[in-house]
Amino acid sequence: MASEFYLEVITPERTFFRGNVEMVIVNSSDGELGIMKGHVPMVALVAIGTLKIKQNGKWREAAINEGFMEVRPDKTIILSHSVEWPEEIDVKRAQAALERAQERARQRRSMKEYYQSKAAMARAMARLKVKKRYNID
Protein backbone atom coordinates (compact mmCIF):
# COMPACT_ATOMS: atom_id res chain seq x y z
CA MET A 1 0.00 0.00 0.00
CA ALA A 2 1.09 3.55 -0.65
CA SER A 3 0.34 4.57 2.94
CA GLU A 4 2.69 2.03 4.49
CA PHE A 5 6.25 2.41 5.69
CA TYR A 6 8.84 -0.05 6.98
CA LEU A 7 9.15 -0.50 10.75
CA GLU A 8 11.88 -2.37 12.55
CA VAL A 9 11.87 -2.82 16.34
CA ILE A 10 15.09 -4.23 17.77
CA THR A 11 16.12 -5.28 21.29
CA PRO A 12 19.52 -6.62 22.40
CA GLU A 13 18.07 -10.16 22.38
CA ARG A 14 16.07 -10.18 19.14
CA THR A 15 14.43 -8.41 16.27
CA PHE A 16 11.01 -7.91 17.85
CA PHE A 17 9.18 -6.70 14.74
CA ARG A 18 10.00 -6.17 11.09
CA GLY A 19 7.52 -5.27 8.38
CA ASN A 20 5.36 -2.70 6.63
CA VAL A 21 2.91 -0.81 8.82
CA GLU A 22 0.37 1.98 8.46
CA MET A 23 1.13 3.70 11.75
CA VAL A 24 3.10 3.35 14.96
CA ILE A 25 2.47 5.11 18.27
CA VAL A 26 5.09 5.17 21.00
CA ASN A 27 5.58 7.07 24.26
CA SER A 28 8.33 9.67 24.40
CA SER A 29 9.46 12.04 27.11
CA ASP A 30 7.16 14.67 25.53
CA GLY A 31 4.08 12.41 25.27
CA GLU A 32 2.80 10.04 22.60
CA LEU A 33 4.31 10.20 19.12
CA GLY A 34 2.31 8.95 16.15
CA ILE A 35 4.33 8.10 13.06
CA MET A 36 2.94 7.58 9.56
CA LYS A 37 4.52 7.33 6.11
CA GLY A 38 6.20 10.55 5.09
CA HIS A 39 6.80 11.74 8.67
CA VAL A 40 9.48 14.36 8.97
CA PRO A 41 12.89 12.82 9.81
CA MET A 42 13.69 12.87 13.52
CA VAL A 43 15.32 11.05 16.39
CA ALA A 44 13.42 10.68 19.67
CA LEU A 45 13.79 9.04 23.05
CA VAL A 46 11.34 6.21 23.67
CA ALA A 47 9.84 6.17 27.15
CA ILE A 48 8.53 3.22 29.14
CA GLY A 49 4.97 2.43 28.12
CA THR A 50 3.19 0.91 25.18
CA LEU A 51 4.09 0.45 21.54
CA LYS A 52 1.07 0.44 19.23
CA ILE A 53 1.45 -0.87 15.68
CA LYS A 54 -1.24 -0.61 12.99
CA GLN A 55 -0.77 -3.22 10.29
CA ASN A 56 -3.35 -4.34 7.71
CA GLY A 57 -5.96 -2.13 9.38
CA LYS A 58 -5.55 -3.80 12.79
CA TRP A 59 -3.83 -2.48 15.92
CA ARG A 60 -1.42 -4.56 17.97
CA GLU A 61 0.04 -3.39 21.27
CA ALA A 62 3.15 -4.32 23.21
CA ALA A 63 4.91 -3.22 26.41
CA ILE A 64 8.10 -1.32 25.63
CA ASN A 65 11.05 -0.25 27.75
CA GLU A 66 13.24 2.81 27.17
CA GLY A 67 15.15 3.30 23.95
CA PHE A 68 15.56 5.42 20.83
CA MET A 69 13.63 5.87 17.62
CA GLU A 70 14.89 7.08 14.25
CA VAL A 71 12.18 8.22 11.87
CA ARG A 72 12.69 8.63 8.14
CA PRO A 73 9.96 9.25 5.54
CA ASP A 74 9.83 5.58 4.47
CA LYS A 75 11.40 3.75 7.43
CA THR A 76 11.36 3.88 11.23
CA ILE A 77 13.75 2.02 13.49
CA ILE A 78 13.13 1.59 17.23
CA LEU A 79 15.92 0.35 19.48
CA SER A 80 14.70 -0.62 22.95
CA HIS A 81 16.00 -2.48 26.00
CA SER A 82 12.97 -4.80 25.81
CA VAL A 83 9.61 -5.16 24.08
CA GLU A 84 6.96 -7.81 24.81
CA TRP A 85 3.70 -8.83 23.18
CA PRO A 86 0.84 -9.44 25.66
CA GLU A 87 1.12 -13.22 25.30
CA GLU A 88 4.81 -13.06 26.28
CA ILE A 89 4.19 -11.25 29.57
CA ASP A 90 4.32 -13.32 32.76
CA VAL A 91 1.83 -11.63 35.10
CA LYS A 92 3.27 -13.18 38.27
CA ARG A 93 6.77 -12.03 37.37
CA ALA A 94 5.56 -8.51 36.49
CA GLN A 95 3.52 -8.28 39.71
CA ALA A 96 6.53 -9.42 41.78
CA ALA A 97 8.74 -6.84 40.03
CA LEU A 98 6.18 -4.13 40.80
CA GLU A 99 6.06 -5.09 44.47
CA ARG A 100 9.87 -5.15 44.75
CA ALA A 101 10.12 -1.73 43.11
CA GLN A 102 7.43 -0.29 45.38
CA GLU A 103 9.27 -1.55 48.45
CA ARG A 104 12.59 -0.09 47.24
CA ALA A 105 10.88 3.25 46.55
CA ARG A 106 9.44 3.30 50.08
CA GLN A 107 12.90 2.75 51.58
CA ARG A 108 14.37 5.78 49.72
CA ARG A 109 18.00 5.02 50.49
CA SER A 110 19.23 7.45 47.85
CA MET A 111 17.74 9.58 45.08
CA LYS A 112 19.39 7.35 42.48
CA GLU A 113 17.77 4.26 43.98
CA TYR A 114 14.45 6.09 44.22
CA TYR A 115 14.49 6.98 40.49
CA GLN A 116 15.56 3.45 39.57
CA SER A 117 12.65 2.12 41.60
CA LYS A 118 10.22 4.49 39.89
CA ALA A 119 11.46 3.30 36.47
CA ALA A 120 11.09 -0.34 37.53
CA MET A 121 7.54 0.40 38.71
CA ALA A 122 6.72 2.07 35.38
CA ARG A 123 8.04 -0.96 33.45
CA ALA A 124 6.05 -3.41 35.56
CA MET A 125 2.87 -1.33 35.33
CA ALA A 126 3.20 -1.01 31.53
CA ARG A 127 3.58 -4.78 31.23
CA LEU A 128 0.56 -5.41 33.49
CA LYS A 129 -1.52 -2.82 31.61
CA VAL A 130 -0.84 -4.42 28.23
CA LYS A 131 -1.48 -7.92 29.58
CA LYS A 132 -4.73 -6.87 31.26
CA ARG A 133 -6.00 -5.05 28.16
CA TYR A 134 -5.70 -8.22 26.09
CA ASN A 135 -6.61 -10.63 28.89
CA ILE A 136 -4.42 -13.40 27.47
CA ASP A 137 -3.51 -16.28 29.78
**Cα distances (angstroms) measured from residue 24 to each of 36, 61, 82, 105, 114:** 7, 10, 17, 33, 32
Considering the domain architecture, whether residues 124 and 74 belong to the same structural domain is answered as no
CATH of the domain at 121: 1.20.5
The span from the CA of 11 to the CA of 37, in Å, is 23
Rounded to two decimals, the pTM is 0.80
* Same-domain pairing of 61 and 101: no
Name residue 100's amino acid.
R
Does residue 76 sit in the same domain as residue 108? no
Residues 42 and 59 in one domain: yes
**pLDDT tens per residue, the chain (137 residues)?**
469 999 999 999 999 999 999 999 999 988 999 999 999 999 999 999 999 999 999 999 999 999 999 999 999 999 999 999 988 878 888 888 878 878 877 777 777 777 777 787 788 888 878 877 776 55
CA distances for 14 relative to 3, 49, 59, angstroms:
27, 19, 22
Same domain, 15 and 79: yes
The neighbouring-strand residues paired with 50 are 63
